[in-house]
């Protein structure tokens, strides 16, 4: 950080420059996610700036979700999950690829008739049988998302075929989705969702709706998810044409 702060030590917005310098350190992974930053005192001393300035810079980065602070333990680079949104992958695959342990806790895993709203959203005829899954998705003990999935029984006749991963169950039936439409929306998590996700009510979240299809156009899933905004980054590669 030294270079940045040295350029103009008398600059009134030193905390903003320090904030940017730390952001760069994180982007370049010079300090790995989960690892600690030097203490406030060490930073202030080595940079020749006040602890108030250091604190202000760190507080801004905590607010951005790039750092976390644990009382008495210090400041750490946040362990965010970066998920490319251009690939049709499952929660289980995404977490395993990061060496994390995906887990689901079900509220509901049953079969029934499609509701009028679901029939409309999925373009199914009234009376169609569907499997419904409602679950909290975890990485180890940490809840990351809530998901409510509706799957036509023609693709998945028995809800108990889903042990942990919906896509694994669909794949085993030769019905793994091949294409999906996904909508992302910023939300404030409701008290109920916040409680399940172990965050404060009103925390930032991402609501995601995914409709997935087979090659022949048949729909295989309509899933509404609420992801914690403080741990997820969704990234996409964009092409000009
Ligand atoms: C993601 C998607 C859901 C999909 C799920 C499948 O979370 N947002 O639409 O249903 O992955 O994951 P899994 O196979 O782990 O159940």
CA of 167, closest atom in ligand 1: 14
The class level of CATH for 81-235 reads alpha beta
Ligand 1 mutation pick, 165, 166, 206, 226, max ligand atoms within 8 A of CB: 166
Just give the CATH number of 2-77: 1.10.10.10
Interval between CA 88 and ligand 1 midpoint (Å): 9
CA of 180, closest atom in ligand 1: 9
pLDDT values of the chain reduced to their tens digit, one per residue, 241 residues: 455 444 454 555 888 889 989 988 988 889 998 999 999 999 999 999 999 999 999 998 888 788 988 888 899 998 877 777 778 999 999 889 888 899 999 999 999 999 999 999 999 999 999 999 999 999 999 999 999 999 999 999 999 999 999 999 999 999 999 999 999 999 999 999 999 999 999 999 999 999 999 999 999 999 999 999 988 877 777 778 7
Interval between CA 67 and ligand 1 midpoint (Å): 27
Distance between CA atoms of residues 64 and 23, nearest Å:
10
Locate CATH 3.40.1410.10 in the chain: 81-235
Q: pLDDT value at position 5?
A: 46
**∠ CA 136-208-236, rounded to 5°:** 120
Locate CATH 1.10.10.10 in the chain: 2-77
Residue 187 CB neighbours (<10 A): 16
């Amino acid at each position: 950080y030294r270079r940045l702060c040295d350029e103009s030590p008398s600059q009134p917005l030193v905390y903003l420059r320090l904030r940017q310098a730390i952001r760069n350190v994180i982007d370049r992974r010079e300090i790995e996610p989960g690892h600690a930053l030097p203490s406030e005192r060490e930073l202030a001393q080595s940079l020749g700036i006040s602890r108030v300035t250091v604190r202000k810079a760190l507080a801004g980065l905590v607010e951005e979700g790039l750092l976390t602070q644990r009382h008495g333990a210090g400041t750490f680079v946040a362990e965010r999950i970066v998920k490319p949104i251009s690939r049709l992958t499952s929660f289980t695959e995404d977490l395993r690829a990061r060496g994390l342990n995906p887990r689901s806790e079900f509220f509901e895993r049953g079969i029934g008739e499609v509701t009028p709203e679901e029939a409309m959203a999925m373009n199914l005829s009234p009376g169609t049988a569907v499997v419904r899954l409602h679950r909290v998705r975890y990485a180890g003990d940490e809840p990351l998302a809530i998901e409510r999935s509706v799957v036509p029984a023609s693709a998945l006749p028995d809800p108990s075929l889903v042990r942990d991963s919906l896509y694994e169950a669909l794949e085993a039936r030769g019905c793994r989705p091949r294409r999906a439409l996904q909508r992302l929306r910023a939300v404030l998590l409701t008290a109920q969702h916040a409680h399940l996700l172990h965050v404060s009510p009103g925390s930032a979240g991402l609501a995601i709706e995914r409709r997935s299809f087979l090659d022949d156009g048949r729909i295989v899933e309509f899933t509404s998810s609420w992801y914690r905004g403080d741990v997820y980054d969704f990234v996409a590669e964009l092409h000009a044409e």
